[in-house]
């Protein structure tokens, strides 16, 4: 309904607060003067509007439409959402005429960013006098038009969707006449309020030994670099909301890869440029000239994402990463492609130049470039398509040399190269995940040892994506360490608030000789062990597992603490062993948990040689239809010996089997009180069982 209702202030203010999620933090938006809501799109139809085409339907949408990322930030029951039947539909809506009787017109807008094809405009006498678009985000934000010079004139609002490709849709809501522009409470105020709240980094599902942003949305790790005693962690970040959008680089630093200090946003979205994934290096020789010989710069290489174009750009810092300047000559590598992203750069000593691996994402081809100064790049070679199919794309590559260990984990003194790359869908456990190739790199070209190699999976769980490794770890340390985004694009809208997503535990990498050839090994970094408290002594002395599905309690935790758990078993050829992690139940009888309510079950079966992680009964699983599931890895034992190391946090399980040869990472959302660990099985003998509580990285410094 297009009506002129003088909205009573308190309800409108309250609505805005509720929608933007501020009530929980006790923050009210400042609304000082009369707002006249011209259109709320909360009615059952578009009364008062002329509607053409098939993009808008007969009535306002009530939120997210099928196939769309989560729509956020609209007010009340409905909004205009032209994603009806996807981006391909088009149309136009024209309002009734109205008289401008305020200084500003404000409206919520989201979706595509194209002032010629996907926009909302204010029209007087048939002429556009103001226009607004979304920011390629499903999160609506306030747009304000200063209409003082048009006061007293008659105008109309026109909403246009004439685009059929990516981001070919618009979201519009709450068209308002107001004497003051409407602004959402600032991010800084929100963060300040959160920092002083009792819940600060203590929510029930807030990981306690994994990195998370304080508030809002995070995806891929970016710009991992070690410099002057600090590990830098940048990450894909939406400074304005809890869903993907406005991509910028968040920033944190740590002395030990465990305890993180949250720093201000390092690289902001600007104009129509979003800051997509990339890397950072210490430019020791000041080849870029951004620093000096005495103070070599940190240089970030990132993807500038603009509508229809992705190109590689630079930013630099000469104050230990605290402030960043975007290079005036950006972009430094633009080949006119729409899907060309996620550069990873390293110094290749033998050829004495920088090498970049970057992805032609939709073509599923990786390109290698060389440069002397980080500014001008020359194409060296290409790799792919290769590996798993079908997959929609390839993103976030990394390339590095690793030491090879023998089958028993002893150094051989030899090395090989690993090329890792991630697919946005179609991975081993469903949805997004990573694969890797083993071969050699001569500074020019990556040659796979086995050109016909199938996909080698990085992680058999669902929640380990876009891992990248730290640059510039000192040679006397010598480790190659990476961290991954503990989430999956298919099920990424996890039920947490006011933040979304976590990083994995940092993992040290190597290659191991196996019967099948060289395979990647990942182990939690040794720094994690420093978080261990005294070993848990309440273990029951179960040694031989012979009771099948009957459980023995290993750890009873009245309140949650993260755990580091090591289990070694000898498993007979027909034996099996399982662990119920984050298990819930009412009471303890004879060392067992009664009224079993839920658990995340890890199970190894010797007859099928399968290790599986089952989160169908792990607590909150209904928020997405693809979330509940069992994720399985093939696993052959040596001499019947099963080795497991498990890192359990408030909403994650990471399983490192056979000393890191097979890894499974899953997010889980247990009910309050589901903190226990139980063990069961048959035909298995426990050789080692150790459990340590881990101190919180946020609280127990
Ligand atoms: C992978 C990815 C990258 C891109 C970034 C955008 O998760 O799609 O390819 O740079 O996310 O946030």
State the pLDDT at residue 588.
61
Cα angle 427-433-437, degrees, rounded to a multiple of 5: 90
State the pLDDT at residue 590.
61
Give the chain's residues under pLDDT 70: 1-34, 185, 537-542, 587-593, 700-701
The continuous run of DSSP H or E covering 456 comes out as strand 456-457
State whether the beta carbon of 427 lies less than 6 angstroms from ligand 1. Answer: no
- Could you tell which of 137, 219, 223, 398 is best to mutate to test the pocket of ligand 1, judged by most ligand atoms within 8 Å of the CB? 219
Name the residue with the closest Cα to ligand 1, atom 8: 395
Q: Of 105, 104, 135, which is closest to residue 240 (Cα–Cα)?
A: 135
State the pLDDT at residue 701.
52
CB 52 within 8 A of CB 16: no
State whether the beta carbon of 276 lies less than 6 angstroms from ligand 1. Answer: yes
State the pLDDT at residue 355.
98
Beta-sheet pairing, 216-227 with 499-500 = parallel
Quote the CA–CA distance of 19 and 348 in Å, as a whole number: 50
State whether the beta carbon of 466 lies less than 6 angstroms from ligand 1. Answer: yes
Tokens standing for residue 680: 């069961």
3-state secondary structure of 309: strand
State whether the beta carbon of 279 lies less than 6 angstroms from ligand 1. Answer: no
State whether the beta carbon of 342 lies less than 6 angstroms from ligand 1. Answer: yes
Report pLDDT digits (tens) over 674-690.
999 988 999 999 999 99
Q: How far apart are the first and last CA of the chain?
A: 56
User: Which backbone phi and psi does 194 adopt, to 5 degrees?
Assistant: -65, -40
Expressed in angstroms and rounded, the spacing between residue 422 Cα and the centre of ligand 1 is 10
- Paired with 604 in beta bridges are 577, 611
CB 305 within 8 A of CB 270: no
Q: Of 602, 573, 593, 585, which is closest to residue 672 (Cα–Cα)?
A: 585
Concerning whether 220 is annotated as a catalytic residue, the answer is yes
State whether the beta carbon of 277 lies less than 6 angstroms from ligand 1. Answer: yes
Which residues have a Cβ under 8 Å from the Cβ of 679 and sit 6 or more positions away? 542, 545, 551, 552, 554, 567, 577, 578, 579, 580, 686, 689
- Catalytic position from the list 220, 283, 605, 614: 220
Quote the CA–CA distance of 505 and 503 in Å, as a whole number: 7
Expressed in angstroms and rounded, the spacing between residue 401 Cα and the centre of ligand 1 is 24
Quote the CA–CA distance of 121 and 129 in Å, as a whole number: 7
- Paired with 253 in beta bridges are 232, 261
Expressed in angstroms and rounded, the spacing between residue 360 Cα and the centre of ligand 1 is 12
State whether the beta carbon of 676 lies less than 6 angstroms from ligand 1. Answer: no
Tokens standing for residue 151: 């006061």
The continuous run of DSSP H or E covering 250 comes out as strand 248-254
3-state secondary structure of 23: helix
User: Which backbone phi and psi does 542 adopt, to 5 degrees?
Assistant: -80, 135
- Could you tell which of 341, 432, 490 is best to mutate to test the pocket of ligand 1, judged by most ligand atoms within 8 Å of the CB? 341
User: Which backbone phi and psi does 371 adopt, to 5 degrees?
Assistant: -155, 150
Quote the CA–CA distance of 244 and 190 in Å, as a whole number: 18
Ligand 1 atom with least separation from CA of 465: 7
State the pLDDT at residue 69.
87
Beta-sheet pairing, 507-514 with 517-524 = antiparallel
With tokens 């589901």, the residue in question is 674
Tokens standing for residue 236: 């894909």
Q: Of 213, 214, 234, 228, which is closest to residue 483 (Cα–Cα)?
A: 234
Expressed in angstroms and rounded, the spacing between residue 252 Cα and the centre of ligand 1 is 19
């Amino acid at each position: 309904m297009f009506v002129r209702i003088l909205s009573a202030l308190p309800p409108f203010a309250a609505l805005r607060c509720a929608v933007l999620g501020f009530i929980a933090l006790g923050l009210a938006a400042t609304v000082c003067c009369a707002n006249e809501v011209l259109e709320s799109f909360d009615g059952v139809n578009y009364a008062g509007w002329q509607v053409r085409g098939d993009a808008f339907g007969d009535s306002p949408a009530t939120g997210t439409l099928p196939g769309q990322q989560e729509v956020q930030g609209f007010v009340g029951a409905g909004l205009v959402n032209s994603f009806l039947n996807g981006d391909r539909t088009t149309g136009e809506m024209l309002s009734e005429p109205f008289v401008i009787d305020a200084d500003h017109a404000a409206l919520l807008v989201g979706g595509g960013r194209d002032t010629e094809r996907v926009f909302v405009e204010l029209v007087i006498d048939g002429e556009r006098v103001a226009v607004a678009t979304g920011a390629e985000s499903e999160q609506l934000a306030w747009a304000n038009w200063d209409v003082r010079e048009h006061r007293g004139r008659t105008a109309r609002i026109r909403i246009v969707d004439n685009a059929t490709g990516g981001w070919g849709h618009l979201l519009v809501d709450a068209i308002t006449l107001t004497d003051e522009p409407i602004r959402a409470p600032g991010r800084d105020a929100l963060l300040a309020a959160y920092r002083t709240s009792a819940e600060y980094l203590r929510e029930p599902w807030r990981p306690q030994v994994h990195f998370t942003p304080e508030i809002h949305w995070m995806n891929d790790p970016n710009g991992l670099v070690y410099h002057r005693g600090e590990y830098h962690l940048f990450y894909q970040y939406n400074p304005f909301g809890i869903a993907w959008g406005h991509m910028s680089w968040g920033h944190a630093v740590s002395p030990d890869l465990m305890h993180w200090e949250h720093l201000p946003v390092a690289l902001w979205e600007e104009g129509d440029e979003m800051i997509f994934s990339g890397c950072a290096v210490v430019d020791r020789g000041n080849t870029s000239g951004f620093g000096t010989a005495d103070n070599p710069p940190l240089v970030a290489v990132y993807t500038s994402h603009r509508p229809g174009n992705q190109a590689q750009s630079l930013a630099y810092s000469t104050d230990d990463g605290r402030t960043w300047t975007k290079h005036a000559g950006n972009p430094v590598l633009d080949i006119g492609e729409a899907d060309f992203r996620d550069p990873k750069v390293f110094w290749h000593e033998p050829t004495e130049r920088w090498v970049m691996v970057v992805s032609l994402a939709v073509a599923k081809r990786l390109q290698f470039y060389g440069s002397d100064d980080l500014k001008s790049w020359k194409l060296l070679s290409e790799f792919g398509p290769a590996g798993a199919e079908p997959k929609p794309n390839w993103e976030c590559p990394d390339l590095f040399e690793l030491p090879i260990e023998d089958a028993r984990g002893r150094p051989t003194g030899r090395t090989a190269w690993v090329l890792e790359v991630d697919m946005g869908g179609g991975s081993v456990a469903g949805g997004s995940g990573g694969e890797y190739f083993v071969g050699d790199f001569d500074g020019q070209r990556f040659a796979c040892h086995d050109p016909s190699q199938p996909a080698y999976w990085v992680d058999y769980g669902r929640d380990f994506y876009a891992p990248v490794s730290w640059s510039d770890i000192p040679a006397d340390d010598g480790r190659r360490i990476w961290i991954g985004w503990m989430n999956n694009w298919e099920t990424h809208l996890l039920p947490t608030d006011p933040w979304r997503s976590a990083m994995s535990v940092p993992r040290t990498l190597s290659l191991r000789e196996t019967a099948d050839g060289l395979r990647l090994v990942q182990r939690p970094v040794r720094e994690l062990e420093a978080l261990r408290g005294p070993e848990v002594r309440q273990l029951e002395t179960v040694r031989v597992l012979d009771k099948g599905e009957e459980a023995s309690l290993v750890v009873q935790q009245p309140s949650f603490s993260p755990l580091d758990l090591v289990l070694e078993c000898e498993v007979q050829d027909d034996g099996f062993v399982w662990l119920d992690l984050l298990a819930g139940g009412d009471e303890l009888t004879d060392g067992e948990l009664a009224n079993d309510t839920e658990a995340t079950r890890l199970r190894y079966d010797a007859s099928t040689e399968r290790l599986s992680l089952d989160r169908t009964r792990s607590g909150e699983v209904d928020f997405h239809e693809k979330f509940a599931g069992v994720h399985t890895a093939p696993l052959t034992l040596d001499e019947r010996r099963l080795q497991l190391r498990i890192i359990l946090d408030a909403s994650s399980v990471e399983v490192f089997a056979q000393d890191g040869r097979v890894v499974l990472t899953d997010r889980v959302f247990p009910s309050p009180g589901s903190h226990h660990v139980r063990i069961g099985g048959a035909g298995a003998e426990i050789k080692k069982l150790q459990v340590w509580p881990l101190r919180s990285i946020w609280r127990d410094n």
